[in-house]
Chain A
Amino acid sequence: MDTAYFLQQLINGVTLGSVYGLIAIGYTMVYGIIGMINFAHGDIFMVGAFIALISFILFALTSIALPIVLLLTLLIAMVFTACYGWTVEKLAYKPLRKSFRLAPLISALGMSIVLQNYVQAAQGARIKTLQPVIQGGFTFMEDTGFTVSLSYLQIFIILVTIVLMAVFTLLITRTALGRAQRACEQDRTMTALMGINVDRTISITFIIGSSLASVAGMMFVMYYGVIDFYIGFLAGIKAFTAAVLGGIGSIPGAMLGGLLIGLIEVFWSGYISIEYKDIAAFTVLVVVLIFYPTGFLGKPDIEKV
């Protein structure tokens, strides 16, 4: 019974952690390249979830096979959400590159309020429910009295995350774009002198971050089945915590952090208290920032005059 319960929490935690990890990559990349906390990223995730929801509803009217529906929804969500990420960067962050340090953060805060209320105005304030898209799954350890289930949906979420992570790691480590991105992280002026279009590289970073967030949004709406315009706030903070925990600026760190935050949240609600499950994430954030601000895989941040 105990092992079974533990195993179940582990499965749920890894699934949730994949979602957080995908959002966290957006935070960590943007922080790495322009050194700002993209506060609106959680709301980009929420927009992605809504686009995926709309796409699922539209495809439900047709008779296209499920795998194609999933693939198409994934692409639709990524493309349209990437437009949001791109526009937000162009409108709210790009003019502030040379401003004082807190300016982009305040601007991002404003953008987050805009996005939330825009979706509320356009889609209504009531929660949206989606019929399960993928059903069924495996069950095992039935004889112990507590059935452990691993649904196809969970397998789908974990697999998609792994595939995306692999593609993404290749992109960063092997391609010219990834090289440009890493160069921008180190020194933007020098990179520009080397003939790399810094503005374009930053735009692409936002596009990649937003499309990964939209995949997370799609998984969220499939996994929980209910969304509203406010989901981005909490998910955003938790994903940011994940990014910090893994070491902000480090992409494998973001994934690791996401996984840990997912596990912590699920185990906390499974073993300690479900009412205070959000407090768990916040506590981790505070403790990590105070005692271990570089995270697991981050580089120490040296302040220079």
Chain B
Amino acid sequence: MKKNFLYSSIKDSLFTGLIALALFGPIVGLRTVAKNEVLVVSPKWFIVLVIVIVCALGRFLTNLYIYNRDQKYGIQSTIGKSITNFLDTKGTQIALSAIIFSVIFPFLPFTDRYLMDIAIMMLTYIMLGWGLNIVIGLAGLLDLGYVAFYAVGAYSYALFAIHFGWSFWICLPIAGIFAAMFGVLLGFPVLRLRGDYLAIVTLAFGEMIRILLLNWYQLTKGPDGLTGIPRPSFFGLPFKSFPEEGEQTFHTFFGLEYSPMQRIIFLYYLILVLALITNLFTIKIRKLPIGRAWEALREDEIACKSLGVNPRNTKLTAFAIGAMFGGFAGSFFATRQAFISPESFTFIESAIIVAIVVLGGMGSQTGVVLATVFLIGLIEVFRDFESYRMIAFGGAMVLIMIFRPRGILATRKPTIILHKKEVTK
């Protein structure tokens, strides 16, 4: 019996090695390189050999030590469960300490320019994740074109600020309204489609917006992008090192030394506040009738219809509100970068935001934060390995779907409990 098993796992791992050879042999082993304008093949058999051996050996070992055991999949759920339990019991304290940490973060001794930039980027993604969480997590609509609203927000902010010279605080709500209007416009016809069709249509819309931005040269300057987007000012006080005659700037008004960090710290707090507003909004709206309708719709559309919930309008509000937060994040992005081009709004951005929401656990606000820190951290650490990090990224999406399809934080607490269940025997 035992021998038989050993024999079959050797056979199985040899087969795995063969498949690995077929997979990696041509693509990895025969790298095409241009030599004098003509493509030639430069063989790299050693790497293929290593990969094949690793695959076969890995398969052999997993066969022996994991699948051989009586109980399968012992590891997969315990880690996530313990995290979830921990967050359940200590949730509020952790959230509070995380907020306090992020408030004092700019003044910590080790904080430098680089860390601040990463923190701002992470907060932008957290905000986008929370915005998209309304659409995916609460309403259950898979939106693969969320970056379109981010782009609409960024471009409308930039265009209004450049052409009309309006300040950040006027342009921000306008950008949000524009993005929400786009959400309604796009959502109105397509929201009655089924889940996966909706996903593809939103993807197509996202790409259409990008192509439009790329080709509408008169308005968007096409691939050159928009430059000279005004920087935000501290309620009318600009951040400038050399103020003009009679002009009050941030550092002269408060009697400080000028430092470029001042603006960065201001931007940091700006996005922190915007993100927290998004979070607060989501937490509150979840308890309102509309929020409950979203979640009910996600669980069972037909039951909702029979109870008199209008699915289209309910979904449309979720879509529009999600889009609005995307637009806010977009205008923040525009003012931080002072330069935007269609390059920043490719499909991969949408995929990253979707991955954040999915990885964190759809509908979980804390999950979004954890997933962002993990994913963006991963992307930052492996900055020099562009395509390898994206392989890890895509692989993580697949693995999460297989082992924890509801995300890292998998439990969904009911938003309302009528009366506690009595303990029965």
A233 touches B391 (CB 8 A): no
Residues A166-182 near B (CB distance < 8 A): none
A119 and B355 CA atoms in complex are apart in Å by 21
Question: Closest Cβ of chain A: how far from B329's Cβ, in Å?
Answer: 21
For A100, give its contact among B23, B201, B405 (CB under 8 Å). Answer: B405
Interchain Cβ contacts under 8 Å between A and B, 20 examples: A50-B27, A51-B26, A51-B27, A53-B39, A86-B19, A92-B401, A96-B405, A105-B195, A107-B397, A110-B397, A114-B398, A118-B387, A121-B388, A128-B34, A129-B39, A130-B39, A233-B347, A237-B204, A278-B207, A305-B302
A120 and B385 CA atoms in complex are apart in Å by 11
Residues B376-397 near A (CB distance < 8 A): 387-388, 390-391, 393-397
Q: Is A194 an interface residue (CB 8 A)?
A: no
Given A57-B41, A58-B30, A83-B19, answer yes or no on A289-B193 (Cβ-Cβ < 8 Å): yes
Given A107-B402, A117-B388, A282-B208, answer yes or no on A128-B32 (Cβ-Cβ < 8 Å): yes
A101 and B203 CA atoms in complex are apart in Å by 18
For A57, give its contact among B40, B189, B390 (CB under 8 Å). Answer: B40
| Contact residues in B for A102 (Cβ distance below 8 Å) | 142, 195-196, 199
Question: Closest Cβ of chain A: how far from B339's Cβ, in Å?
Answer: 23
Question: Closest Cβ of chain B: how far from A246's Cβ, in Å?
Answer: 15
In this complex, the member of A83, A99, A131 whose beta carbon has the largest number of chain B beta carbons within 10 angstroms is A83
Interface 1/0s, chain A 49-80, versus B by CB < 8 A? 01101110110000000000000000000011
Size of the B side of the interface (Cβ < 8 Å), in residues, is 58
Question: Closest Cβ of chain A: how far from B32's Cβ, in Å?
Answer: 6
A283 and B391 CA atoms in complex are apart in Å by 31
B197 touches A289 (CB 8 A): yes
Interface 1/0s, chain A 6-23, versus B by CB < 8 A? 000000000000000000
| Contact residues in A for B32 (Cβ distance below 8 Å) | 53-54, 57, 123-124, 128
A112 and B203 CA atoms in complex are apart in Å by 14
Q: Is B266 an interface residue (CB 8 A)?
A: no
| Contact residues in B for A283 (Cβ distance below 8 Å) | 208
For A110, give its contact among B22, B34, B144, B396 (CB under 8 Å). Answer: B396
A92 and B31 CA atoms in complex are apart in Å by 26
Residues A266-303 near B (CB distance < 8 A): 275-276, 278-279, 282-283, 285-286, 289-290, 293, 301, 303
Q: Which residue of B lies closest to A56 (CB)?
A: B39
A103 touches B405 (CB 8 A): yes
A262 and B128 CA atoms in complex are apart in Å by 36
Given A110-B394, A112-B394, A117-B394, answer yes or no on A122-B28 (Cβ-Cβ < 8 Å): yes
Q: Which residue of B lies closest to A110 (CB)?
A: B397
A106 touches B200 (CB 8 A): no
Size of the A side of the interface (Cβ < 8 Å), in residues, is 69
For A128, give its contact among B39, B347, B402 (CB under 8 Å). Answer: B39
| Contact residues in B for A83 (Cβ distance below 8 Å) | 19, 22-23
| A-B pairs, 6 with minimum CB distance | A110-B397, A113-B394, A114-B394, A117-B390, A121-B387, A117-B387
| Contact residues in B for A104 (Cβ distance below 8 Å) | 401
B207 touches A276 (CB 8 A): no
For A37, give its contact among B27, B196, B207, B358 (CB under 8 Å). Answer: B196
Question: Closest Cβ of chain B: how far from A70's Cβ, in Å?
Answer: 18
Contacts A117-B394, A118-B27, A237-B207 supplied; 13 other A-B pairs, CB < 8 Å: A58-B30, A91-B398, A92-B401, A101-B195, A103-B405, A116-B390, A122-B28, A124-B32, A129-B37, A276-B211, A279-B212, A282-B205, A289-B200
Residues A150-194 near B (CB distance < 8 A): none
B196 touches A58 (CB 8 A): no
Question: Closest Cβ of chain B: how far from A45's Cβ, in Å?
Answer: 14
Question: Closest Cβ of chain A: how far from B54's Cβ, in Å?
Answer: 15
Q: Is B190 an interface residue (CB 8 A)?
A: yes
Interface 1/0s, chain A 122-137, versus B by CB < 8 A? 1111101111000000
A276 and B215 CA atoms in complex are apart in Å by 8
Q: Which residue of B lies closest to A120 (CB)?
A: B387
| Contact residues in B for A57 (Cβ distance below 8 Å) | 32, 39-41
A-B contacts at CB below 8 angstroms, number? 174
Q: Is B261 an interface residue (CB 8 A)?
A: no
Q: Which residue of B lies closest to A273 (CB)?
A: B215
B358 touches A47 (CB 8 A): no
A234 and B396 CA atoms in complex are apart in Å by 24
For A105, give its contact among B19, B142, B212 (CB under 8 Å). Answer: B142
Question: Closest Cβ of chain A: how far from B38's Cβ, in Å?
Answer: 7
Given A58-B41, A101-B196, A237-B203, answer yes or no on A122-B31 (Cβ-Cβ < 8 Å): yes
Q: Is A109 an interface residue (CB 8 A)?
A: yes
A293 touches B193 (CB 8 A): yes
Q: Is B53 an interface residue (CB 8 A)?
A: no
A118 and B388 CA atoms in complex are apart in Å by 7
Q: Is A111 an interface residue (CB 8 A)?
A: yes
Q: Is B351 an interface residue (CB 8 A)?
A: yes
Q: Is A147 an interface residue (CB 8 A)?
A: no
A109 and B401 CA atoms in complex are apart in Å by 11
Q: Is A95 an interface residue (CB 8 A)?
A: yes
Interface 1/0s, chain A 247-265, versus B by CB < 8 A? 0000000000000000000
Interface 1/0s, chain B 9-30, versus A by CB < 8 A? 0000000000100111111101
A37 and B144 CA atoms in complex are apart in Å by 14
A119 and B30 CA atoms in complex are apart in Å by 12
A57 and B38 CA atoms in complex are apart in Å by 10
Q: Which residue of A lies closest to B188 (CB)?
A: A290
| Contact residues in B for A212 (Cβ distance below 8 Å) | none
Residues B31-47 near A (CB distance < 8 A): 31-34, 37-41
Q: Is B152 an interface residue (CB 8 A)?
A: no
B388 touches A131 (CB 8 A): no
Question: Closest Cβ of chain A: how far from B218's Cβ, in Å?
Answer: 13
Given A121-B388, A289-B193, answer yes or no on A240-B200 (Cβ-Cβ < 8 Å): yes
Question: Closest Cβ of chain A: how far from B247's Cβ, in Å?
Answer: 44
Given A84-B23, A130-B39, answer yes or no on A303-B190 (Cβ-Cβ < 8 Å): no
Q: Is A87 an interface residue (CB 8 A)?
A: yes
Q: Is A242 an interface residue (CB 8 A)?
A: no
Q: Is B354 an interface residue (CB 8 A)?
A: yes
A95 and B212 CA atoms in complex are apart in Å by 39
| Contact residues in B for A106 (Cβ distance below 8 Å) | 142, 354, 358, 397, 401
A106 and B350 CA atoms in complex are apart in Å by 12
Q: Is A36 an interface residue (CB 8 A)?
A: yes
B41 touches A54 (CB 8 A): yes
Given A117-B391, A129-B39, A237-B204, answer yes or no on A99-B23 (Cβ-Cβ < 8 Å): no
